[in-house]
Chain A
Amino acid sequence: MLTEGQKGDAKECSSPFKGISLALDPNLINLVPSGATTVPESENELDKQEEVEVANAPSQSLINNPYEMFEKMPLSRLIPIILRNRGPNFKFADLTEDALLKEISGENNEQTIEKDADGDYKMGSESIDELKGREESLQPLRVDENSLTDESESVSQDQFQQLKKNVIQSINMALNESSLSLEFVSLLLSSVRPAAATASMSPYLKKTVPAASLNAEKIPLKRSTRSEVISSRITHKGWKLRSLEESRLLLKETYHSLERSIEKEHDYWSKICQYISNKDVVFKMKDRDTGERSLGIKYGYEDSGSTYKQDRGIAILRHDSKMNKLELVPFEKSQSAVHINKRNNEKFLRVRIFTKIEEEDDYILTGESCLDSVLATSEDSTQEVDIRHQISKLKFFIFDQELMYQLKRESETLISYGVSIENENKIVAEFPSEKIEIEMLQLDDDIIMNHQQDAPKTNDKKANLILTMLRLLLVIMYKKQMRQRLLSPPSSKRTHSKSSKTRSSSKDASDTSILLLRPIMGKIRHQSYLDLLKKLTKDFILDAVKDSKLTVISGNERSNSDISNTDSDIHITKLNKEIGMFDEILRMPRSEISVDLNEKGKIKLVLESSNFCNAVIKVTYVNGTAKALFDTKFSDFKELEEFLHFIINEYVV
């Protein structure tokens, strides 16, 4: 605000130079309301014209005021105008200098902006005075600076010292630079004007460098000719073209390779989308052969309750771009071994039944299980082998492998019952009239080709039934394992794996729980025991005692205890139900023969087994007066025979 005031003052000072020395700034004139006018009688025609002009623009801004018009006006005309603007009851005599100054100082504050604009407007043709005014207006800035330094002086002594040091350093540097340049110029001059140059040279320079040793020469700037410019432009463009061409080739090349890989990926994923369902166990894994990122699929039965650890049952989903098909490559630790013999793992189980020829003491093949349909079809067919088929095949192989593994473990304990492990891949179970051979066979083309050409044999169906039951029983083992896992909390499982002692004990438990061959053998053996028992009773009781009757009760009352305890978990109840279904097969065989001897009482023979394969015969004799005389057990038929003989002879006959 202060500067503006000064500016205004400066302007006011300038106005007297221009025309009549008017103490009044004409700019102030229209600040007074111009509505009321008192026209003195003495005015003439010209006055009237003037009045019209003024009236035309009553609120005309003072900035645009025609300065010259008022200035050049004779007083006789100007005074009436002033009177008119001043108001009706104003006398010219009342207009004093003091009053006007007061007015000006009052109005200045309001009019600063307008005056500012005024000043800018005049800037183009600034007079010296105005420049002076501007210089004056700059002065306050300097004052401000001074005040700033005053403020900075209030900083601490240390800072002041620091600043001082900096200033001195800068001055020294400037001094050094300037003297250096002086030396340089002097040396350069020394060749032309030695006297003048040596005067300004420093003694050190004079001593070390001979005079006129520095020279300068003007090098003409060589303007390149038009042809040169053009040729350089052409080369420039040529290089551009060449690099762009290289870039094009590079892009094209990568485009092709990327397109190929996109196609490959697309095929791969569309096939996966087509064949993989949410029932498959899929996970990310790295392909060891190609090093690519790939997907693995688990076809093993570990999640279904299998405890088989020899083969984890993991395969890599690999895309064969040549054949355009998805390929499953079983993932093994020994990759090379798989490559040498790819079908190493393609083994399946076959059950054969041999019937004994009585007179020759030899066996002939009477039944053979047929090839599973999964293996029989499309092994060699060239049509598209889809991934699902591959998965089911792999599942089949790993299942049969485990079955064989478990069978071998089970058979180790059954040597005394006619079961022998002939070699790594063959188990033979012998029965009085026949023998059953379970064999693990390598799947080869011959087997596939010939599987339907063999003539049907009498026991084919039985062999198939046995094989199917073996598989079903393995499934039941899985289910039991699953139930175990569900029932036992994971924390206890951890402790199991931690301590090797409990682990071995659980292993023992799993050994005894292998129930594959025994239930089947038990059924067959039980039947032959029963036949033998019937024959004995017939020989010793029925033939000896008249009117005696024989009743056979096979099987036994259902024990529903397992099923009755209902668990809250639906999965466990489901498993219980499914396992319970096989109770009939898995239960120890039991048969009852009761012989009614009329008034002489009753003999009851119960044929049982403690381990499926042996036979325990419980004999109970109740005499006519309902008194139990004997209640004994036999495991030997010879003894039983003698015992029966004894009872009949002593008590009945």
Chain B
Amino acid sequence: MSNRALLEQLDRTTEMLSNSLTQLVKYSSILSEEESGAAQREMADSIASVSSEGVAMINTQTMQLIKGIQDLLVMTRSIREKWLLSQVPEKKESEQQEVDYEKCSQMLNSWVNQIVGNSDC
């Protein structure tokens, strides 16, 4: 996913989060009931509608909140993957050591001598 797409997704998710949080807060306010008296009373007439609608609303908003947070987590995961697959920082000690060719050939020669010398006996 490109940086731009990630940023766009971030925007979308935060928007969604704030929206559902606002909905929840609005719903939880008790004051609103007093203010819009008549309409509220009419609504209050049917307990069934209050219970089902309220619960459903709260539930969907809550699920949206959760989903948003999960989306954010998934995003961090993909950002991390992106980092790992593209730009892991160099480790300093991993610098290539120059091979000492002279020494190596000397060691190889001594290897030959060891093997051959031993087989003499």
Contact = CB atoms under 8 A, between A and B. Distances in A.
B104 to A, nearest CB: 5
A272 B77 CA distance: 13
Interface centre among A239, A265, A531 (most CB of B within 10 A): A239
Given A233-B44, A236-B33, A584 B116 contact: no
Contacts of B27: 240, 244
A531 B120 contact: yes
B18 interface: no
A243 B58 contact: yes
B111 to A, nearest CB: 6
A246 B58 contact: yes
B94 A236 contact: no
Nearest to B30: A237
Contacts of B41: 224, 229, 232-233
Interface string A236-264: 11011011101100110010001001100
A110 B105 CA distance: 113
**Chain B interface secondary structure, helix, strand, loop or mixed?**
helix
A524 B116 contact: yes
Contacts of A461: 114
B5 interface: no
B24 A247 contact: yes
A121 interface: no
A251 B109 contact: no
Contacts of B109: 584
Contact of A251 (B33, B54, B65): B65
A469 B114 CA distance: 12
Interface residues of B, number: 52
B111 A465 contact: yes
Contacts of A240: 27-28, 30, 54
Nearest to B28: A244
A577 interface: yes
B62 A462 contact: no
Given A239-B51, A247-B62, A585-B112, A431 B85 contact: no
Contact of B54 (A239, A262, A434, A462): A239
Determine the main DSSP class of A at the interface with B.
helix
A582 B59 CA distance: 73
A527 interface: yes
Interface string B33-71: 100000011011101001100110111011101100110
B91 to A, nearest CB: 4
Nearest to B91: A277
Given A581-B101, A582-B108, A431 B119 contact: yes
B50 A239 contact: yes
A278 B118 CA distance: 44
B24 A584 contact: no
B67 to A, nearest CB: 10
Contacts of A585: 108, 111-112
A279 interface: yes
Top 9 nearest A-B pairs (CB, nearest first) are A232-B44, A243-B58, A247-B62, A278-B88, A277-B91, A243-B55, A527-B116, A239-B51, A254-B66
Interface of A: 224, 229, 232-233, 235-237, 239-240, 242-244, 246-247, 250-251, 254, 258, 261-262, 265, 269, 272, 276-279, 282-284, 293, 295, 431, 433-434, 459, 461-462, 465-466, 469, 520, 523-524, 527-528, 531, 577-578, 581-582, 584-585
15 contacts: A233-B44, A236-B50, A239-B54, A244-B58, A247-B61, A258-B69, A276-B84, A293-B77, A461-B114, A523-B115, A527-B116, A527-B119, A577-B99, A581-B105, A585-B112
